[in-house]
């Protein structure tokens, strides 16, 4: 199986999984759309769960590198003082926005898939932890420096809310389009991002202000 055909399988699996979910797609569906034999997918990826892991890992590695670099740059810019909460949240979230707006259909599919994983009660938490917890811990470490009075429990809840808001926004579900009567569009990631960073930052600051009183 050449690299190009292997990538095609990953691309097709990513698209179908994003549209139908894990249980709505079979290896036969993926093989048919990728124009390969199921046996080849089994040979190179194994079971469907292992192909699913390969789909998630492929772009998680790229995204984690983007975000690690952004967080490190944020820290370096604040070398003579703690980085601000807004700057830390910007560094953590902007790489996802950039991939969603500049990465084309494949990244759109991937971020839709991540939103599904993040809300799956059966195996979502385990997968998100496996692929994204090291990066999340870097982010939280910077926030602890910026918000020294924040209780650890509150910090964790704030991160939980951030994670949900971020993945739902980038999933582009069109719900806000209908709910707002067309005034807002879920595909308008730039506007969503401009509003989300101060909204999330305000939540973190509100909790920590409460703790410091």
* This model's pTM is above 0.85: yes
Is there a domain that residue 51 lies in?
no
Are 34 and 83 found together in one domain? no
> Tokens in use for 94?
């902007």
Task: Give which of 192, 107, 206, 79 is closest to 151, Cα–Cα.
Answer: 206
Residues of the chain with pLDDT under 70: 1-3, 210-213
pLDDT score for 108: 92
Are 79 and 121 found together in one domain? yes
d(CA 59, CA 15): 13
Is there a domain that residue 163 lies in?
yes
Number of structural domains (the chain) is: 2
What are the pLDDT digits (tens) for 91-134? 999 999 899 889 899 999 999 999 999 999 999 999 999 999 99
> Tokens in use for 209?
């202000």
Are 23 and 65 found together in one domain? no
Is there a domain that residue 52 lies in?
no
d(CA 31, CA 18): 16
Are 85 and 152 found together in one domain? yes
pLDDT score for 213: 46
Q: Are 111 and 126 in contact (CB under 8 A)?
A: no
Are 33 and 74 found together in one domain? no
Average pLDDT, the chain: 91
As to burial, measured by CB atoms within 10 angstroms (0-12 exposed, 13-18 middle, 19+ buried), residue 51 is: buried
Are 171 and 103 found together in one domain? yes
As to burial, measured by CB atoms within 10 angstroms (0-12 exposed, 13-18 middle, 19+ buried), residue 122 is: exposed
- End-to-end alpha carbon distance in the chain: 62
CATH number of domain containing 14: 1.10.10.60
Are 105 and 140 found together in one domain? yes
- Residue ranges making up the domain that contains 24: 1-46
Is there a domain that residue 196 lies in?
yes
Q: Are 172 and 187 in contact (CB under 8 A)?
A: yes
Task: Give which of 116, 22, 114, 109 is closest to 67, Cα–Cα.
Answer: 114
Are 178 and 128 found together in one domain? yes
Are 149 and 191 found together in one domain? yes
């Amino acid at each position: 199986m050449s690299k190009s055909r292997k990538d095609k399988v990953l691309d097709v699996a990513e698209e179908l999984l994003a549209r139908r979910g894990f249980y709505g797609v079979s290896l036969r569906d993926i093989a048919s759309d990728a124009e390969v034999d199921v046996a080849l997918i089994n040979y190179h990826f194994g079971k469907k769960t292992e192909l699913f892991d390969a789909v998630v890992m492929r772009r998680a590695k790229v995204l984690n590198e983007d975000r690690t670099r952004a967080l490190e740059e944020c820290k370096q810019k604040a070398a003579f003082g703690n980085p601000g909460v807004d700057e830390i949240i910007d560094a953590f979230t902007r790489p996802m926005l950039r991939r969603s707006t500049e990465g084309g259909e494949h990244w759109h599919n991937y971020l839709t898939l991540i939103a599904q994983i993040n809300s799956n009660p059966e195996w979502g938490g385990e997968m998100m932890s496996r692929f994204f917890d090291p990066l999340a811990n870097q982010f939280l470490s910077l926030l602890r420096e910026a918000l020294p009075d924040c209780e650890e429990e509150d910090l964790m809840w704030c991160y939980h809310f951030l994670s949900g808001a971020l993945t739902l926004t980038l999933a582009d579900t069109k719900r806000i389009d209908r709910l707002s009567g067309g005034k807002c569009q879920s595909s308008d990631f730039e506007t969503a991002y401009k509003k989300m960073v101060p909204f999330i930052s305000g939540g973190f600051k509100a909790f920590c202000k409460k703790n410091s009183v």
